[in-house]
Structure 1
Amino acid sequence: MTTDASPSPAHGSAKHLYQRHQAVLPDWLAVYYADPIELTHGEGRHVWDAEGNKYLDFFGGILTTMTAHALPEVTKAVSEQAGRIIHSSTLYLNRPMVDLAERIAKLSGIPDARVFFTTSGTEANDTALLLATAYRRSNQILAMRNSYHGRSFTSVGITGNKGWSPTSLSPLQTLYVHGGVRTRGPYADLDDAGFIAACVADLEDLLGHVRPPAALIAEPIQGVGGFTAPPDGLYAAFREVLHERGILWIADEVQTGWGRTGDNFWGWQAHGQNGPPDILTFAKGIGNGMSIGGVVARAEVMNCLDSNSISTFGGTQITMAAGLANLTYLLEHDLQGNARRVGGLLIERLRAIAAQLPGVREVRGRGLMIGVELVKPGTDQADPDGAAAALEAAREGGLLIGKGGGHNTSVLRIAPPLSLTVAEAEEGAAILERALRSTQF
């Protein structure tokens, strides 16, 4: 890391701020690092902490700073909108909300699409579950093992990753399906075609024993689960089975949307042989840090609710202005193409590094959504302590990354802003290599 300025004594040290944090915020509110850092400003793909240390940001506030920190086009749009009106609620006509909804509806691929804006991915998935259960008159939901869908009561109830599911209580009855993790589990040794066939057979068998569920919700690439993914075409095969029974498919695109995977604009498009999902949820990157989430569904599904509803903060003018500017920048600068090109180079560079390190089980991912899974050398056993040490060492070297995984948090998660340059990708890979070599590898 590099130090560009000394900390401001008026604000106190990060250690003192952490003490205040612990005194007033919940114990379960996770923070990174043994000595947590306070990020004070950013520019491009870099951020600075309160001590003046500069970092290359490979996590983007959990895949949320999608284009760049302090992107001038977004900050200008926010400033100009703030000078007019910040908020009015959905009880009044809202031009920026309609403008962004029109663009997202067209991009979604869902015919006759309707868009409802929320303030987060959790709330978006909550809304999708409300729509699906109301439309189908069923409270049964199919979800993927190792999945994560948010922190609300309903989204926790369908999360298949026990590390992020603090209660088994839920208003929904959830049934977990095989397929989200390609390289672990009972079908891992099969080839891709065999893996898909086995997962489909398992789904068909499950559906033969239960009342018809409302929907299957699935992340095309599991985010918190460690950037795991099935072979292309699995969800297309699932959709065929579901469609025959009238069961809806919800694609949770909170982390995979907006071109991050490089190959496709939406993650579902790798599985789109049988058409788009019935419901699509989004959030994170579209706001570039502003609180935007949302749901896209065909009109028949979206309009199934038979009572009134509004959103106080979903679709508020200032966030919609940010989303419009951010989406325009993303499309005009082909950041999806950049994610494919630079992400492909980064994945190959990391795989070359991993080939020399017995503690790296796998480098996987697509575009700028990359997971590095760590194990105890000579075994297939997850190594959460090694992942924690690598996270710390990367920060010491000037690189911010994330972590996740299934049974244990042993996957390093790499998801920089989509404007990442080749030089920055090389720099980040070099820092991560040093971090891995300096720990137990």
Structure 2
Amino acid sequence: MSGLYARHRAVSPEWLALYYRHPIELTHGEGRYVRDADGNRYLDFFGGILTTMTAHALPEVTEAVAEQAGRIIHSSTLYLNRPMVEMAERVAALSGIPDARVFFTTSGTEANDTALLLATAYRGSNQILAMRNSYHGRSFSTVSVTGNQAWSPTSLSPLQTLYVHGGVRTRGPYAGLSDDRFIEACVADLEDLLGHTRKPAALIAEPIQGVGGFTSPPDGLYAAFRQVLDRHGVLWISDEVQTGWGRTGDHFWGWQAHAEHGPPDVLTFAKGIGNGMSVGGVVARAEVMNCLDANSISTFGGSPVTMAASLANLSYLLEHDLQGNARRVGGLLIERLRGIAAAFPAVREVRGRGLMIGVELVKPGTDEADPEAAAAVLEAARAGGLLIGKGGGHGTSVLRIAPPLTLTVAEAEEGAAILANALHAAD
């Protein structure tokens, strides 16, 4: 056990997870690569859980942080904050939500927590609809709407949560249906559920489930849900913490794959927009955002430094069409991985969109999740110089691949080759 690892275990909670049998300390990063304390170099296909969105040590972001820090680091929301207002203006315009208002937080958990507060206050109800296999954060309220048992440590809750079908296309009672029939069945289930409940506040849903293993419904499911929700006055909260900012390639926001009936009532974001800085936020139409009748501020949300980083990061993303790069390079990578997976009976499915790709592992010849195999591949990939993540709602058996959006074709090929070797080594 390394000295730092021993010190970590002496002062940290036992439930604070670390990757790898011999955890590593990352000390440097540049572009799509990082180095550990022993000088080993890795191609980063996980970006600190989809958070280093553009690149490590991106000069435009680091310079913006240094420049702002040299002026003032902190003021709180009790004072006018020019970078926060400028960032809010840009996010409101990009969100697609009419008459949008923006509130900044320090994390995706806090963003979803705020969205739940708004929805329950607006509707006068503590009942929430959520998707099975979902993940929305680690606070008391967000754990209570998380439909993934591995990440929901208590059944106690300030909310009454009811779980809806549809977030996982290839498992569950509707898996064998065509896409159209799948949507019809899920909508019928939602209709039936609403017939037995009283005034739900909102449906909260990830367009692509992140921790759940990068699973998603057919395009159009949430548009079909929206028709039902609107009839019942139920808000739609789109959790874009992992799917926002063009990562899926085809769309800037995940909800746009379900855009037939317009944008969500509330949108939450975090992770990649700060490129490593602690940034989250909520966008909602003014009527919903302004419904609170008590004072509220944020001490750290929208700080001058994190907003300066986000403005620089967003400008870089848009000016360099990183959404287009995610679509092009992500498309090549997923097809490359599907070709590799064909040789491994343990790979049940390679799925995803843009640079958000999941490789699900099972015990060969079955649909039974194989978390031991996923752990073995994670170790072998690291030994080969590649960092990836893992997740999934059936035993953490999905390899999660989400590189920075500046990934090149050569780096995609390099990572695919290392992952192929890792699958061989763990087979």
TM-score (norm 2): 1.00
The within-5 A match list for 1:157-196 is 157-196=144-183
Give secondary structure in 2 for the equivalent of 1:270: helix
Q: CA deviation at 1:407?
A: 2.2
1:106 aligns with 2:93: yes
Q: CA deviation at 1:170?
A: 0.4
1:200, 1:212 → 2: CA distance? 18
Question: What RMSD over aligned residues (CA atoms) do the two structures have, in Å?
Answer: 0.5
- Which AA in structure 2 matches 1:279? V
The within-5 A match list for 1:387-402 is 387-402=374-389
Ranges in structure 1 where 5+ consecutive residues have no aligned partner? 1-13
- Which AA in structure 1 matches 2:2? K
1:48 aligns with 2:60: no
1:11 corresponds to which residue? none
Give secondary structure in 1 for the equivalent of 2:327: helix
1:133 aligns with 2:120: yes
Give secondary structure in 2 for the equivalent of 1:387: helix
Q: CA deviation at 1:132?
A: 0.0
2:426, 2:275 → 1: CA distance? 33
2:278, 2:253 → 1: CA distance? 20
Identical counterparts, % of pairs: 84
- Which AA in structure 1 matches 2:107? S
1:361 aligns with 2:335: no
Q: Which of 131, 140, 146 matches 1:153?
A: 140
- Which AA in structure 1 matches 2:188? A
Q: CA deviation at 1:398?
A: 0.1
1:353, 1:193 → 2: CA distance? 30
- Which AA in structure 2 matches 1:432? L
- Which AA in structure 2 matches 1:348? E
1:394, 1:294 → 2: CA distance? 34
Give secondary structure in 1 for the equivalent of 2:393: coil
1:94 aligns with 2:78: no
- Which AA in structure 2 matches 1:108? S
Q: Deviations over 1:276-323 (max 9, x none)?
A: 000000000000000000000000000000011110000000000000
2:312 corresponds to which residue? 325
- Which AA in structure 1 matches 2:344? L
1:374 aligns with 2:361: yes
1:121 corresponds to which residue? 108
Q: Is the 8 A contact 1:162 1:407 kept in 2?
A: no
2:129 corresponds to which residue? 142
Q: Which of 211, 221, 228 matches 1:224?
A: 211
1:416 aligns with 2:416: no
Q: Deviations over 1:320-369 (max 9, x none)?
A: 00000000000000000000000000000000011111010000000000
Q: CA deviation at 1:15?
A: 1.1
Give secondary structure in 1 for the equivalent of 2:136: coil
Ranges in structure 2 where 5+ consecutive residues have no aligned partner? none
1:431 aligns with 2:412: no
1:284 aligns with 2:286: no
1:80 aligns with 2:67: yes
Q: Deviations over 1:125-180 (max 9, x none)?
A: 00000000000000000000000000000000000000000000000000000000
Runs of 4+ deviating beyond 3 Å: none
How many pairs align? 427
Q: Deviations over 1:396-421 (max 9, x none)?
A: 00000000000210000000000000
1:68 aligns with 2:55: yes
1:338 aligns with 2:344: no
- Which AA in structure 2 matches 1:46? Y
Q: Which of 220, 230, 240 matches 1:233?
A: 220
